[in-house]
A and B are shown apart, each in its own frame.
Chain A
Amino acid sequence: MDDKQIVDLYWERSEKALTETAAKYGGYCYSVANSILNNRADAEESVNDTYLDAWNSMPPHRPSVLATFLGKITRRISVDKWRKSNAEKRGSGQVAVVLNELEECIPDKSNVEQTVEMQILADVINSFVKGLPDKEQQVFLCRYWYMDSVEAIAARFGFSVSKVKSMLYRTRQKLRARLIKEGLK
């Protein structure tokens, strides 16, 4: 069943929408969730929450690409779940490592926490990602959107682990420079 047909089922409020979603994207959503949570039960719960969120989102949404629509929901739910369960004990799983890496991108390590305009930051990062060369863009998103391990990325692209690490390091430095240029702190 193509995405348009599945989305039509949501709009018709037919529960078949969920079986079709699970059949086509259950594995994908699970892998997004598990990369973040590294725990089967939590990942399954995230996927279930994704289905409910999708049910409540369509209508009014009518996404053209269902995979990324669902993936974004799963990522958001999983990151929130990770934050709640790891508030005390950061240091486990890919998310903690990813956050440590992204720390390098922050232009001003002032002791005073300043609120950042999230929409502006999102726009800047979207523009930054758009401007990256293809491979660098894909590696960056595999790491920081999908939270794949460096080893998994290396295997996927046929790179060495050290090459992936240096690519990510360079991209993070570029992002830092961009954030400084945009005046974001």
Chain B
Amino acid sequence: MKPDDILDAIGKVDDQYIEKAKTSKKSNKKIWITAASAAACLCIAVAGIFGLRNAELFKADDTSTVADPSTVIGTSAQTVTESSDNTTAPPTVSETVGNTAAESTSKEAVTDQPTQIHLPSYWADTRERDKSKVVYSNMSAREWPWNCKEVSEQFTFVEYNGRKYIIRSHSTLSKDKVGKKLGTATMQGYDIYEDKTHSTTCEIYEIKGIDSSRFIAVKYQGYDGYYVFNMRDYDPPATLGDLISALNLTETFPLTTIYHNSKKYGLTEADSEVLWSMFLKHSDAETLEYENIPSGNKKLTFVIVSEELGTDNLSWALYDDGYIRTNIDSYGYRYYIGEDAVNEIVKYALGHKAGEIADNTQYIIGNVTEIGDDYIKVNDSVMMKNPDDGIEFTVMANDMRIKRYIISGFLKKGQLVRITHTGILTGNHTVVETATMLEEVMLAENDIMIYF
């Protein structure tokens, strides 16, 4: 253990104690100063108390002190600048010695404020689409050549300690969620094109707070990231309480995203705590198998967004027949908690839901016009009400899920594709840097399929 470990651990103390320390008792001494001389007077007045070194904290900056809430954020320059409020003589300001900066208000202007905040600025597509045209994904499970797969797609299962684990997410886990090392293992992957078996080794780690007989983190030899794997054998926990405990769900699965009437809404972390306490009352509910056709109707779904469990779209759903049905583990489970309990939980969640969660996913649908070494050009005229409004986008192949279409030669000029991305920067709105998926699609116009 090092002092840095203690320092970091203190950083994780509960918010309520940090908040209490922030608002801790202050001295009753007051110094009356005018704002015009605030900087110089404060610097002198407090230097004697805090020491000259800390007096620098109170030197006012000439350029700005106050964030102007009415600052306009332009669509082209997403720079927020703060203007200083010096158009009128400010009133006399009382300053309490020993005041923490947490108490600072815009009037006191005792601390320097950061001057600029930069955010990416995205292009808003206002063109009119031809609503008679829809696309259908043509994707079957394509088997990629070995060199077109990410390592987590090449080696997807591991056997450790008598159990078989399968990969849960192709995104890596944050290092601070990785626990102690458990051991090493050998993994195998099969290349169907070359009829060849590949091998690699890996390190097996705990995921903090989670039973390693159910979930582990795997680090592939030669790679830095940790990937979440889920135990594949059928070994259900005995009760709801056992499931919650084994997966540390009160910590790893915040009940802060609900799906209701085809929309997603948010809840606070405080709501999540209340809701978990409601579920925990039914800890003794026995784990039952998930039936193919539920006997009830879904009332509400909690979307499982959990880095530790390697998911952002699994389901913890409440049904009007009194059951929870979930696919949180490798197998679906069902728990009977009663209709009254379901109604109580649904009532709380819907009564406290906050804003709708915006979906940032966007699409470009068009024909491939050019295939470069690290880009694909796609023209979306076919989807526009006025074809002249079409744009030829350059989609950068930054993600392997795009790049492998280039490497493999599967993509052809003229093919209709749908590109998933998370926004196009305004600097050059014909270049897409954020593409994460490419799908081969088919077009239907007025319900008639059109083939390219």
- Beta-carbon contact of B18 and A68 below 8 Å: yes
- Beta-carbon contact of A117 and B71 below 8 Å: no
Closest to B209 in A: A119
Contact with B along A123-151 (1 / 0, CB 8 A): 01110011000100110011011100101
Taking a contact as CB atoms closer than 8 A, the residue among B1, B4, B82 that contacts A99 in the complex is B4
- Beta-carbon contact of B114 and A48 below 8 Å: yes
Taking a contact as CB atoms closer than 8 A, the residue among B20, B78, B268 that contacts A64 in the complex is B268
B358 to chain A, nearest CB (A): 6
Question: Residues of B contacting A69 with CB < 8 Å?
Answer: 15
- Beta-carbon contact of B113 and A145 below 8 Å: no
A146 to B19, CA, bound (A): 11
Taking a contact as CB atoms closer than 8 A, the residue among B17, B69, B100 that contacts A137 in the complex is B17
Contact with B along A43-77 (1 / 0, CB 8 A): 11001100110010001111111011101100110
Q: Chain B: interface residue count, which band?
A: 35 or more
- Beta-carbon contact of B104 and A48 below 8 Å: no
A47 to B113, CA, bound (A): 8
Closest to A32 in B: B101
Question: Residues of B contacting A26 with CB < 8 Å?
Answer: 67, 111, 113-114
A28 contacts partner chain B, Cβ-Cβ < 8 Å: yes
Closest to A61 in B: B269
Question: Residues of B contacting A170 with CB < 8 Å?
Answer: none
- Beta-carbon contact of A121 and B53 below 8 Å: no
A83 to B399, CA, bound (A): 33
- Beta-carbon contact of A157 and B19 below 8 Å: no
- Beta-carbon contact of A138 and B357 below 8 Å: no
B326 contacts partner chain A, Cβ-Cβ < 8 Å: no
Q: Which of A66-110 contact B (CB under 8 A)?
A: 67-69, 71-72, 75-76, 79, 83, 95, 98-100, 102-103, 105-108
Instruction: Spot the interface stretch: B22-30, B279-287, B376-384.
Output: B22-30
B338 contacts partner chain A, Cβ-Cβ < 8 Å: no
Q: Which of B430-444 contact A (CB under 8 A)?
A: none
- Beta-carbon contact of B3 and A99 below 8 Å: yes
Q: Chain A: interface residue count, which band?
A: 35 or more
- Beta-carbon contact of B111 and A62 below 8 Å: no
Question: Residues of A contacting B106 with CB < 8 Å?
Answer: 23
- Beta-carbon contact of B21 and A67 below 8 Å: no
- Beta-carbon contact of B254 and A60 below 8 Å: yes
User: Beyond A60-B256, A145-B21, is A34–B51 a contact (Cβ under 8 Å)?
Assistant: no
Question: Residues of B contacting A151 with CB < 8 Å?
Answer: 49-51, 54
Question: Residues of B contacting A118 with CB < 8 Å?
Answer: 5, 8-9, 176
A13 contacts partner chain B, Cβ-Cβ < 8 Å: yes
- Beta-carbon contact of B305 and A98 below 8 Å: no
B50 to chain A, nearest CB (A): 6
B266 contacts partner chain A, Cβ-Cβ < 8 Å: yes
Interface of A is mostly: helix
A152 to B48, CA, bound (A): 11
A14 to chain B, nearest CB (A): 9
Closest to B25 in A: A157
A122 to B25, CA, bound (A): 26
- Beta-carbon contact of B102 and A31 below 8 Å: yes
Contact with A along B271-299 (1 / 0, CB 8 A): 00000000000000000000000000000
- Beta-carbon contact of A71 and B101 below 8 Å: no
B257 contacts partner chain A, Cβ-Cβ < 8 Å: yes
Closest to A69 in B: B15
User: Beyond A12-B358, A69-B15, is A63–B269 a contact (Cβ under 8 Å)?
Assistant: yes
A116 to B2, CA, bound (A): 9
B163 to chain A, nearest CB (A): 23
B171 to chain A, nearest CB (A): 14
Question: Residues of A contacting B114 with CB < 8 Å?
Answer: 22, 26, 30, 44, 47-48, 51
Taking a contact as CB atoms closer than 8 A, the residue among B15, B25, B69, B78 that contacts A68 in the complex is B15
A173 to chain B, nearest CB (A): 14
User: Beyond A68-B19, A145-B10, A158-B27, is A59–B80 a contact (Cβ under 8 Å)?
Assistant: no
* 19 A-B pairs (CB sep. < 8 Å): A4-B268, A4-B354, A8-B355, A11-B357, A19-B73, A19-B80, A22-B113, A40-B56, A55-B119, A62-B266, A62-B268, A65-B15, A117-B180, A125-B6, A141-B17, A144-B7, A145-B18, A146-B100, A158-B28
Further contacts, 18 of them, CB under 8 A, given A11-B266, A22-B82: A12-B355, A18-B117, A19-B69, A28-B22, A40-B56, A48-B116, A63-B15, A63-B268, A71-B22, A83-B4, A99-B4, A118-B5, A119-B208, A129-B10, A149-B50, A155-B27, A156-B26, A156-B100
